[in-house]
């Protein structure tokens, strides 16, 4: 009997240790997959922003692209600043997740926060550079540690200098290093996750066989639930990232990137269904004078107020609007013919007239309508709306001008 008890105890302890090790490996595997998904999402958002926003606007001399964009009018962040702010926002929303970018050459405004914070981060950068120098494949690094019985998983990927980054980093006055080459290791993207506390698994070594089995089954179920929940949170975070990338932070309307994506979807849908689509360019009158006389804070509040009027005029389940410049907006009206576009413009202007804020809202509108695919492209329709808006702005009697496909 004693031998039987000893054998059962040994088998139970062995089974428990094996189960515990398997549980830790499963948690680590889930954390590794989550970190890879997060890194890929951040990288995709950055590359998309760089290619479709900053690259497109870099030729526009009136638009500032840089780290100090919040203090300027008609300004957007550069890709690095956009990614850093996006990572900071994710980290704030997720208490057990930290996403950050770091480098051996942080810019002056990030000296205190932009460098490596641990020996592991330093070693990872050194590893990436060694692999780059020797021509070996560059592999992300990761490690698992325990702080107060809590598993902490750290995952680090290299940030490689792309063709769109080299010139900017080598010419910026505040850049700490100006001899970058294509393919150099600029820095790293670090993702740190604090996993669920595993203290219960450690205590199970001292309880009975029945409790070992019961808690092991419970732990396996809890692990499966936590893993599913973690993946759901990662997918939710990815959606938050895309929403941030597509939204103007001041007015909470779509930005230019969000506008272009939505317009493509609307255009294809109306083309397939052979329905009219109307777009309206809106430009505020004398907005620069308002900024000069009353300050940018008043100008920002003016833009927020007009965005509120825009949202109240749109059909929430059909239309959308975007801010594409300092005081420039675009409305896209689904299944709306030229007459409907003109009626919308009249309603919008009437609501602007009723506005009782500190500064009157005056604007010029250009309306363009067409059935997509009938001899006109989306770019041509936008051009016609833009041209109509300038005609309205030059008119002394009418605040809007209308164009539709087939007009002469």
- What are the pLDDT digits (tens) for 78-101? 888 888 888 888 887 777 888 888
Residue 251 lies in a domain: no
Q: Please state, in angstroms and as integers, the Cα–Cα distance from residue 384 to each residue in 188, 219, 265, 278, 370, following that order.
A: 45, 63, 20, 11, 10
- What are the pLDDT digits (tens) for 182-205? 989 999 999 888 865 555 445 544
Q: Are residues 223 and 363 in the same domain?
A: no
Q: Are residues 240 and 268 in the same domain?
A: no
- What are the pLDDT digits (tens) for 51-81? 888 778 878 888 888 777 888 888 888 888 8
What confidence score (pLDDT) does residue 230 get?
61
Last residue of a domain, one of 246, 271, 302: 246
Percent of the chain with pLDDT over 90: 37
What confidence score (pLDDT) does residue 357 get?
86
What is the domain range of residue 393? 256-404
Q: Are residues 119 and 204 in the same domain?
A: yes
Q: Is the pLDDT of residue 304 over 60?
A: yes
Last residue of a domain, one of 246, 273, 288: 246
Q: Are residues 196 and 321 in the same domain?
A: no
Between CA 292 and CA 141 the distance in angstroms is 52
Q: Are residues 142 and 6 in the same domain?
A: yes
Number of domains, the chain: 2
Q: Are residues 234 and 271 in the same domain?
A: no
Q: Are residues 178 and 214 in the same domain?
A: yes
Q: Are residues 215 and 325 in the same domain?
A: no
Q: Are residues 294 and 352 in the same domain?
A: yes
Global pTM reads 0.45
Contacts of 223 (CB under 8 A, 6+ apart): 23, 26, 27
Exposure string (b/e) for 281-299, b if CB count within 10 Å is 16 or more? bbbbbebeebbeeeeeeeb
Q: Are residues 172 and 96 in the same domain?
A: yes
Nearest CA to 10 out of 198, 205, 201 is that of: 205
Which one is predicted more confidently, 392 or 14?
392
Q: Is the pLDDT of residue 31 over 70?
A: yes
Distance of CA 66 to the CA centre of its chain: 17
What confidence score (pLDDT) does residue 7 get?
58
Residue 181 lies in a domain: yes
Mean pLDDT over all residues of the chain?
A: 82
- What are the pLDDT digits (tens) for 343-376? 999 999 999 999 988 899 999 999 999 999 878 8
What confidence score (pLDDT) does residue 63 get?
85
Instruction: For residue 332, list its beta bridge partners.
Output: 279, 320
Q: Are residues 301 and 383 in the same domain?
A: yes
Residue 46 lies in a domain: yes
Last residue of a domain, one of 246, 268, 298: 246
Residue 225 lies in a domain: yes
Q: Are residues 98 and 209 in the same domain?
A: yes
Question: Do 165 and 181 touch, CB atoms closer than 8 A?
Answer: no
CATH number of the domain bearing residue 262 = 3.30.70.270
What confidence score (pLDDT) does residue 100 get?
87
- What are the pLDDT digits (tens) for 114-128? 899 999 999 999 999
């Amino acid at each position: 009997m004693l031998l039987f008890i000893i054998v059962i105890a040994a088998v139970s302890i062995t089974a428990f240790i094996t189960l515990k090790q398997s549980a830790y490996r499963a948690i680590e595997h889930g954390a590794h997959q989550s970190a890879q998904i997060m890194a890929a999402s951040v990288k995709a958002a950055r590359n998309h922003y760089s290619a479709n926003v900053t690259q497109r606007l870099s030729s526009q001399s009136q638009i500032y692209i840089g780290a100090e964009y919040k203090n300027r009018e008609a300004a957007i962040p550069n890709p690095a600043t956009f990614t850093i702010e996006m990572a900071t926002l994710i980290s704030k929303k997720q208490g057990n997740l930290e996403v950050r970018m770091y480098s051996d050459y942080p810019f002056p405004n990030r000296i205190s926060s932009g460098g490596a914070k641990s020996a592991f981060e330093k070693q990872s950068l050194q590893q990436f550079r060694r692999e780059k120098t020797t021509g070996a494949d560059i592999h992300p690094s990761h490690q698992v540690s325990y702080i107060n019985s809590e598993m902490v998983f750290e995952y680090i990927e290299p940030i490689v200098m792309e063709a769109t980054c080299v010139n900017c980093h080598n010419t910026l006055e505040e850049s700490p290093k100006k001899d970058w080459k294509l393919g150099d290791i600029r820095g790293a993207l670090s993702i740190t996750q604090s996993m669920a506390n595993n203290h219960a698994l450690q205590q199970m070594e001292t309880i009975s066989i029945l409790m070992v089995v019961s808690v092991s089954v419970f732990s396996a179920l809890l692990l499966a639930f936590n893993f599913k929940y973690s993946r759901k949170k990662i997918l939710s975070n990815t959606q938050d990232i895309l929403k941030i990338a597509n939204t103007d932070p001041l007015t909470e309307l779509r930005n230019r990137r969000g506008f272009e994506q939505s317009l493509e979807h609307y255009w294809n849908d109306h083309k397939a269904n052979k329905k009219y689509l109307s777009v309206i360019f809106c430009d505020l009158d004398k907005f620069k004078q308002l900024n000069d006389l009353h300050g940018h804070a008043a100008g920002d509040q003016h833009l927020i107020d007009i965005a509120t009027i825009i949202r109240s005029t749109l059909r929430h389940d059909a239309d959308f609007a975007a801010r594409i410049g300092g005081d420039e907006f675009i409305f896209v009206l689904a299944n709306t013919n030229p007459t409907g576009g003109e009626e919308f413009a009249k309603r919008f202007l009437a609501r602007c007239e009723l506005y009782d804020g500190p500064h009157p809202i005056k604007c010029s509108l250009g309306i363009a309508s067409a059935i997509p695919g009938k001899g006109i492209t989306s770019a041509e329709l936008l051009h016609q709306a833009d041209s109509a808006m300038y005609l309205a702005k030059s008119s002394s009697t009418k605040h809007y001008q209308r164009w539709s496909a087939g007009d002469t």
